[in-house]
Structure 1
Amino acid sequence: MYLPRAFASHDPAALDALFNADNFITLVTVVDGAPCVSHLPVLYHRDGDRVTLRGHWAKPNPQSTHTGPALAIVHGPHAYVSPSWYPDKVEEHRVPTWNYVVAHLHGTLERLTDTDDLASIVSDLGDQHEPRVGQGWRYIDDDAHRSQLRGIVGFRLHVERFDIKAKLSQNHPAANREAVIANFEAQPSDDARALARLMRDALDANRTPAGD
């Protein structure tokens, strides 16, 4: 990932926030020089500097046979930025851009085929997401549910390094950033409003006197 220093972050708390907001990832592996990609919900866990992801594939998915190096991508909010919003648009000949937050997690992929491991993944994903839609489905450890586990393969990604790119107009003067925030706040998009909050937090942090 192209990662200019101004947009780079390695803050574990920022990674927590990304996964708390949306734990649907893009998982990339490479076998014999050919990339293989899956889009999957995962269970995120961080203990200090140690991060792991758990999830599962459908058994027919070719990636379900893969182990070893892998890349997980989690997308945060993103939105278009119009140059017409900038107070200095004429003087600086500004152009359109896009603000966004994304994280790349590099690690080693482990396949999980034990029935208890698969049951735990399915159960934990259900427990996490059912309340969000106002429902109460739960995994029950009976023959009917356990038979369904034969159709999936689980995985655990042991994360060894992560990079976060938070492109939040940090390369612009404060007046431009304030203008982008105001325009994002006026948009109907949840992503735009989420970016406005992140941009405001970043601006406020920069204004905090050292030592506070």
Structure 2
Amino acid sequence: MYLPRRFAETDPAELDALLARDAFVTLVTVDAEGLPFASHLPVLHRWEGERLLLEGHWARPNPQAGHRGPALAIVHGPHAYVSPTWYTDPRAQVPTWNYAVAHLSGPLAPFEETEALQTLVAELSAKYEEAVGSDWRFPGSAPDTLSDLRGIIGFRLEVERLQLKFKLNQNHPEANVVGAAAALERLGGESAEVAALMRERLARRPARA
């Protein structure tokens, strides 16, 4: 990933926030013919000290299922178009796109043990059922579906390289950031999320003497 220093983040808590917001990642590997292959999958993550692990599962027919070796997981944060008309000097600026994203790379290892798959599916379903206010749980709420575990293969990604890119107008003067953030807030939704991140970065700037 192209990562200018001014847009780089180093705080692991920023990754936790991105994954809490949206843990539906893009998992990229290279197949036997040297071609990239991507799957879109929900994951769980956990820290073991400074070691970060991602876990999820493929449908068994997925050509990527069972891949072992280098992989890249892309975590997608909020993003929004930024118009130069929101700046104090629009005739001297061009449109851009503000966004937050994380790239996590390292060795990927599959697993097929029934107990491990059951634990994974139980944790994934509990997380998202709770989010929608449901008390459905696996396998207790549907014991007859345990046999469906044969249709999936689990994976574990041990993250060796973490890159966090938060491109949020850090290269602009304060007035431009404030103007663009205000416009994005008016748009609401995901644009307002970007605005909040912009204001957070602006607040971190050293005060001028």
The answer to whether TM tops 0.5 is: yes
Residue of structure 1 in register with 2:16 after alignment: 16
- The offset of 1:143, in angstroms, is 5.8
Instruction: Report the residue type matching 1:37 in the other structure.
Output: A
**Matches of residues 86-165 of structure 1 in structure 2 within 5 Å?**
86-90=87-91, 92=92, 94-140=93-139, 144-165=144-165
CA distance in 1 between partners of 2:55 and 2:149 (Å): 15
* Paired residues of 1:181 and 1:200 also in contact (CA < 8 A): yes
* Paired residues of 1:76 and 1:102 also in contact (CA < 8 A): yes
- The offset of 1:86, in angstroms, is 0.5
- The offset of 1:128, in angstroms, is 0.4
CA distance in 1 between partners of 2:182 and 2:143 (Å): 55
- The offset of 1:65, in angstroms, is 2.3
| SS of residue matched to 1:2 | coil
Percent identity between the two aligned chains: 53
CA distance in 2 between partners of 1:110 and 1:208 (Å): 47
Residue of structure 1 in register with 2:79 after alignment: 78
* Paired residues of 1:12 and 1:49 also in contact (CA < 8 A): no
Structure 1 length-normalised TM: 0.93
- The offset of 1:198, in angstroms, is 0.9
CA distance in 2 between partners of 1:48 and 1:165 (Å): 23
* Paired residues of 2:78 and 2:191 also in contact (CA < 8 A): yes
| SS of residue matched to 1:52 | strand
Any idea what the Cα deviations from partners look like across 1:155-188, whole Å, max 9, x if unmatched?
0001101101100000111100010111111113
| SS of residue matched to 1:72 | strand
Residue of structure 1 in register with 2:173 after alignment: 173
Instruction: Report the residue type matching 2:58 in the other structure.
Output: W
CA distance in 2 between partners of 1:46 and 1:197 (Å): 26
- The offset of 1:145, in angstroms, is 2.6
Structure 2 length-normalised TM: 0.94
Any idea what the Cα deviations from partners look like across 1:24-59, whole Å, max 9, x if unmatched?
000000123111110000001123321100100000
CA distance in 2 between partners of 1:97 and 1:173 (Å): 15
Structure 1's unaligned 5+ residue stretches are none
RMSD: 1.5
| SS of residue matched to 1:54 | strand
CA distance in 1 between partners of 2:13 and 2:178 (Å): 24
Structure 2's unaligned 5+ residue stretches are none
Is 1:68 paired with 2:53? no
| SS of residue matched to 2:46 | strand
* Paired residues of 2:66 and 2:109 also in contact (CA < 8 A): no
Instruction: Report the residue type matching 1:76 in the other structure.
Output: G
CA distance in 2 between partners of 1:124 and 1:39 (Å): 18
- The offset of 1:87, in angstroms, is 0.5
